Amino acid sequence: MHELVRRSRCAAALAAWLVLPWALAADGAVKLRTVLILPFDATSLEPDARWWGNGIAEVMELGLAQHPGIAQIDSGRVRSQKPEAWTDAAAIQAARATRVDAAIFGRVTKNGTDFVLEPKLVEVKAAAADVTALEPISVAPADILGRLATLPAIYARTLKITLTDAEARRIERAASPTKSLRAFEYFARGQVAADRGTQEGNEQAVDLLSRAIEVDANFAVAQYALGTVHQALGNRWKAQAQFRVATQLDSGYPEPFKALGDLYLTQPRRLFDQAIEHYGKAIELRPYYADAHVGLGDARAAKGDVDGAIAAYQKALAFNTLNPRVHMSLGKIYYGEKGLYKEAVEEYKKVVERDPKHTGAMYNLALVYEKLDPREAIVQWERYIVIAGPLPSEKDWVDVARLHLRKLKSQIKE
C-alpha cells in the first residue's frame, strides 16, 4: 500500500511538472525563447585571427545568459557538424536539428584595419525559417570589446524581448569580462582548444587560459573556464581552486558556484549538503539558472528527497524547456523507483530524440530496457557501442556495455 501511495505522489508531481511551462506563459510571465549561439564566420580573416569567430560567440553567451527570457542550448550539440563557416543554410539546419526558436550567427571581416561585424539571426517557424541581417558594425580594433558588449542586447531586442535599462546594463557588463584585448584573445583561443574535447586540446587550453589570467588576473570568466578544463582533465583539486578564485573575483557570477556544487555532488565523500549550498547560491544569483536547478534536484535525490528533487526539476524545465539534464535526472529517479521503468524509458527517449548522439541517455536507455525487453536492450547496447566506441572518454563505459551485450545474448540463446 505504501508503495502505491509513493508512486501516486510521484506521478501527480510529474503531471504538474509537464504543464508548468505553459502555465507560466499563460500567467503573463516572460515568454521563453530557446536560442542556439554559433561562432561567427571568420574565414576571411588571417588564420591567426580566426579565433574572433568563437570569441564573438563567447561574448553573446555571457551577455544573453543574464535574461530569463532566453534559454541557451549547448552549442556542443551541433559540434559534430563543424562546417567551415556557419552560413545561412548551415545555421538554419542547426536550428532545426536542435529545435530552438532562434539561432545567432554572423560574419566578421576586415575593412582596412577596422573590423566589420555582420550579425544575423535565424528564427524558426513551423513552415519556414527567417534570416534577419542586423545592422553591420564597423569598429577599430582598440574599441571592439566595448562595441561587442552592446551586441547581446541588440540581439535580445531583435528577438522582441523587452529590456529594462537595468537589464541592458547587466547584459552589457557581463558581455565585457575583460578590458584587455590580449587576455580576451588567449581566453577565446583557449575555449576553441577546449571545444575539441581531446587531451591535447585540453592541455593547450590550460596553457592559453593561464596566459589570459597572467595578463588580467581579475578575469573571473577565464578563471572559471580554466577550472572547467582542469575538471575535464580529471584534476579535481585544481578545478576547485580555480572555481573558488572565480567566486572571490566576482561574487555575483553564478557559474563557478554551480560548478563547485557539481564537484561536491560527485565527491567520493558524498558532500551533498555542500553541493546543495552552492547550487542554492548560484540560484540566488540567477533564479532562472536551469542547470543549477537540475544540480540541486540531483543533490536532493541523492539524499533521498524525491519530492524535493522533482520540485527542482520542475523549475529547471520551466526555465529551459530543451534542457536534456532534466530528462536524464528524471530517468534516473524513475529507474530507481521500483516498477517505473517505462517512465524512465520515455525520459531517456526524449533526450535521444533531441540529441541522437547523447551517449549518456543511450547507455541508460539500454540499461532500463534490460528490465523490460532484453531483445530491445541488445539493439540499444549495439547502437550505443557504435556511437560511443570511438570516443576516448567513453572507453570504460563501452567495455561495460560489451559485457552487458554478451550476457544478454547468451541468456536469449539459452
Residue-wise pLDDT tens digits, 203-244: 999 999 999 999 999 999 999 999 999 999 999 999 999 999
Q: What is the CATH number of the domain that holds 346?
A: 1.25.40.10
Q: What does the alpha-carbon distance between residue 365 and residue 91 come to, in Å, rounded to a whole number?
A: 30
Q: What does the alpha-carbon distance between residue 77 and residue 87 come to, in Å, rounded to a whole number?
A: 17
Domain limit, last residue, from 176, 206, 228? 176
Residue 333 clears pLDDT 90, i.e. is over it? no
Grid coordinates given for 247 = 567566486
Grid coordinates given for 76 = 556542443
> What pLDDT does 23 receive?
35
Segment (H or E) for 118: strand 114-124
Beta bridge partners of 237: none
In a domain, 318, yes or no: no
In a domain, 142, yes or no: yes
Residue 15 clears pLDDT 80, i.e. is over it? no
In a domain, 382, yes or no: yes
Check residue 159 and report its DSSP letter.
T
pLDDT tens-digit series, residues 122-146: 999 877 889 999 999 999 999 999 9
DSSP H helices in 266-340: 272-285, 290-302, 306-319, 324-336
CA 44 to the chain's CA centroid = 29
Sign for the CA dihedral angle at 367, 373, 378, 383 comes to negative
Closest CA to 2 of 342, 337, 372: 337
Confidence at 5, pLDDT banded by 50, 70, 90: very low
Q: What does the alpha-carbon distance between residue 262 and residue 62 come to, in Å, rounded to a whole number?
A: 20
In a domain, 22, yes or no: no
> What pLDDT does 20 receive?
42
Percent of the chain's residues with pLDDT above 70: 92
In a domain, 291, yes or no: no
Closest CA to 63 of 181, 192, 152, 177: 152
In a domain, 163, yes or no: yes
Pairing state between β 137-139 and 33-37: unpaired
Domain limit, last residue, from 160, 176, 192? 176
> What pLDDT does 12 receive?
46
Radius of gyration for the alpha carbons in the chain, expressed in angstroms and rounded: 22
Domain containing 77 equals 32-176
pTM of the model: 0.84
Confidence at 52, pLDDT banded by 50, 70, 90: very high
Q: How many domains does the chain have?
A: 2
Domain limit, last residue, from 176, 208, 224? 176
In a domain, 23, yes or no: no
In a domain, 92, yes or no: yes
> What pLDDT does 13 receive?
47
CA 393 to the chain's CA centroid = 18
Q: What is the CATH number of the domain that holds 165?
A: 3.40.50.10070
> What pLDDT does 163 receive?
93
Q: Work out the mean pLDDT of the chain and round it to a whole number.
A: 89
